Chain A
Amino acid sequence: MVDNWVSIGREEEFADGLRTIAVGRQRIVVARLKGQLFAFDALCPHAQGPMERSEVEGAVVSCPLHAWRFDLEAGGKELHGYRDLPLHEIKVADGQVFLAVGS
Chain B
Amino acid sequence: MTSDQRPTYTNLYETVRGVGNLLAPEGFKYLTEIPPGTPESHLVIHLSCMAHYTPQIPLLAQKILQKIDLDCLIVGGPENCCGELHKHFKDHDLERQMARTAMTGFRRAKPHKVVSICPDCDEVFSAHGAERMPYQHTNISDLFIEYLDRLKAHMKSVNLRIVPHFHTVNAARQRDAQNMMTILRAVPGLQILDAQFALGPGIHCQTLHPMPAADQERMFVEAVELGAEALVVPYHSCYRQHCKMQLKHRVEVHHMFNILAMSLGIPFSEPFKEMRLLGDVDSVVNALRSRIQNQGYDEKTVRAQITRAIFC
Contact = CB atoms under 8 A, between A and B. Distances in A.
Do A and B assemble together? Answer: yes
Interface of A: 46-50, 53, 55, 57, 62, 64-67, 69, 80
Contacts of A53: 94
B10 interface: yes
B10 A67 contact: yes
Contacts of B28: none
Interface in B237-258: none
Question: What is the interface residue range for chain B against chain A?
Answer: 10 to 19
A65 B10 contact: no
A64 B8 CA distance: 9
Contacts of A67: 9-10, 12-14, 78
A64 B94 contact: yes
A62 B294 CA distance: 25
A47 B100 CA distance: 10
B304 to A, nearest CB: 14
A62 B10 CA distance: 7
A65 B91 CA distance: 10
Contacts of A49: 94, 97
10 contacts: A46-B79, A55-B8, A55-B10, A64-B9, A64-B91, A65-B9, A65-B98, A65-B101, A66-B98, A67-B12
A2 B10 CA distance: 34
Contact of B9 (A46, A47, A50, A55): A55
B108 interface: no
B9 A62 contact: yes
Given A47-B97, A80-B17, A69 B10 contact: yes
A77 B12 CA distance: 21
Given A53-B94, A65-B94, 12 more contacts: A47-B97, A47-B101, A49-B94, A49-B97, A57-B10, A62-B8, A64-B94, A65-B97, A65-B98, A67-B9, A67-B78, A69-B10
B94 A66 contact: no
A66 B81 contact: yes
Contacts of B13: 66-67
Nearest to B95: A65
A57 B79 CA distance: 20
A57 B94 CA distance: 20
A42 B12 CA distance: 23
Contacts of A66: 13, 78-79, 81, 98
Nearest to A80: B17
Nearest to A57: B10
Contacts of A48: 97
A71 B78 CA distance: 19
Nearest to A54: B10
Contacts of B91: 64
B18 to A, nearest CB: 11
A59 to B, nearest CB: 14
Contacts of A80: 17
